[in-house]
Amino acid sequence: MEVCIVAVGTELLLGQITDTNARVVAEALAAHGHSSRLRFTVGDNHQQIVWALSEGLARADAVITMGGLGPTQDDITREAVAAVAGVPLERDEEVAQRIRAIFADRGRSMPSNNLRQALVPRGARVIEQRKGTAPGLLVPVGRKLIACLPGVPFELEDMLDEVLAELRARDDRPYVLGSRVVRTWGLGESRLAELVAERFDALEGTETTLAFLASGIEGIKVRVTTRAASDDAVRARLDAEEAVLRELLGDYVFGVDEDTLETVVARALGTHGLDLAVAESLTGGMLASRLVAVPGASAWFRGGVVAYDPAVKHEVLGVAAPRVVSEEAAREMALGVRELLHASVGVATTGVAGPESLEGQPPGTVWIGVAIGQRSAARMVQLLGDRERVRTYATASALDLLRLTLAGSSRGLDPR
């Protein structure tokens, strides 16, 4: 189905808050096979909201509104929806009673304004409010639909499934919908788009779509969504599309769906019967923290050393290199922590998080070392961003380099 999204709130137009709701709704629609190719942001103005709703209904099968369902005078989405639907607002006594009960349960007196939230366009179905006082609304307009959701994000997300179910019920095409997320690390979004451009174009007009989701420390995700007559047919299409993407992207693909760099590393260590120790300088424990978040990490993670002061590198890890931001230091840190903690594999991070240079090296200069047995190697990566971003990306880069090395990839290290 074609869906228009309408975000209501003058604060959005003034830039006082970021509209995260539109992203949540758009991603949910795409994941369920609906198109959200039209989006409006309007202020708390009756005429503007009516215009956006009318335009949306003219161009789409359904409109989803977000915001303007509160108890104050500027919350006028209900009135605008009723005007567009050509029906009056009526008080829903069940909604009113639930609102009164919410205040009573909290031991608070209820301002009379809150009963404005019990006004419902005639013929609408109420989406029960479970986390707030504003109910959602499903308002039929001829053969089309206006779905109204609160602007408070956790309230919106709580009601979104009911809206998706209504859209599904109105879609008369029998199908099973499925999706899979192919996860990558090491490619920028534009480069990844170039590599899959021909495939993206080839799928135009078919029941299978690709979408790119940039997600920071999780890398770039490619979501494959398809529909077919059965679960088996959907699974076959997803398997085939994943195979195509792996062929196009090679070992930049590190996993699918719920895989993370650390869970993939954990599986590789288990497959090879290896355990791991880490030595961290600029990442300051981030690497160890991501690793121990994996269930069962005690089976393969020996521990870590945060060697932030150069003296700790020298005295605890046995680093002889005079420059701590160097290939030699990264290799010696990896070897040192491997030996100190009696692990099969050692990984080390050292570099410059910023904001100032160190040893003549600019912020973002990071060396990652890997030691396996008595062999070691290191690689430099140059990262952009502020201090926190550099540290975060250095952690992910270390996990990815270890993943590639354990897999024997040509993009990994070759410890000698």
The structure's pTM equals: 0.74
Residues of each domain in the chain carrying CATH 3.90.950.20: 261-407
For residue range 334-355, list pLDDT tens digits in order: 999 999 999 999 999 999 999 9
Q: Which residues contact 204 (CB under 8 A, 6 or more apart)?
A: none
| Residues 258/327, Cβ–Cβ less than 8 Å | no
For the chain, 416 residues long, give each residue's pLDDT as a single digit of tens.
Answer: 899 999 999 999 999 999 999 989 998 888 787 888 799 999 999 999 999 999 999 999 999 999 999 888 899 999 999 999 999 999 999 988 988 888 888 888 888 888 888 999 999 999 988 888 789 999 999 999 999 999 999 999 999 999 999 998 998 766 788 899 999 999 998 999 999 999 999 998 888 989 888 876 789 999 999 989 899 999 999 999 999 999 999 999 999 999 999 999 999 999 999 999 999 999 999 999 999 999 999 999 999 999 999 999 999 999 999 999 999 999 999 999 999 999 999 999 999 999 999 999 999 999 999 999 999 999 999 999 999 999 999 999 999 999 999 999 999 999 88
Superfamily of domain 261-407 in the CATH hierarchy: CinA-like (3.90.950.20)
Q: How far apart are CA 335 and CA 287, in angstroms?
A: 17
Produce one character per residue of 226-250: b if its CB has 16 or more CB atoms within 10 Å, e if not. Answer: bbbeeeebbeebbeebbebbeebbe
Rg (CA), the chain: 27
pLDDT tens digits, one per residue of 193-239? 999 999 999 998 888 989 888 876 789 999 999 989 899 999 999 99
According to CATH, the topology of domain 2-170 is Molybdenum Cofactor Biosythetic Enzyme; Chain A (3.40.980)
Q: Burial code of 99-137, b = ≥16 C-beta within 10 A, e = fewer?
A: beeeeeeeeeebeeebebbbbbbeebeebebeebbbbbb
Helix runs in 196-326, H state only = 197-202, 231-249, 261-272, 286-292, 310-315
The string of DSSP codes covering 290-301 is HHHTSTTGGGTE
Identity of the amino acid at 26: A
Compute CA 158 distance to the chain's CA centroid, rounded to the nearest angstrom.
18
| CATH placement of domain 176-256 | 3.30.70.2860
Q: Is 216 left (phi over 0), alpha (psi -120 to 50) or beta?
A: left
Percentage helix, strand, coil, to 5, in the chain? 45, 25, 30
Please give the DSSP secondary-structure letter assigned to residue 87: -
Residue 366: CB atoms within 10 A of its CB come to 28
Give CA 381 to chain center in angstroms.
24
In the chain, which segments carry CATH 3.30.70.2860? 176-256
Q: What stretch(es) of the chain map to CATH 3.40.980.10?
A: 2-170
Amino acid at 136: G
Distances 297 to 53, 275, 292 between C-alpha atoms, Å: 52, 10, 5
User: What is the phi/psi pair of residue 304, to 5°?
Assistant: -150, 165
Contacts of 7 (CB under 8 A, 6+ apart): 19, 21, 22, 39, 40, 41, 42, 65, 66, 67, 151
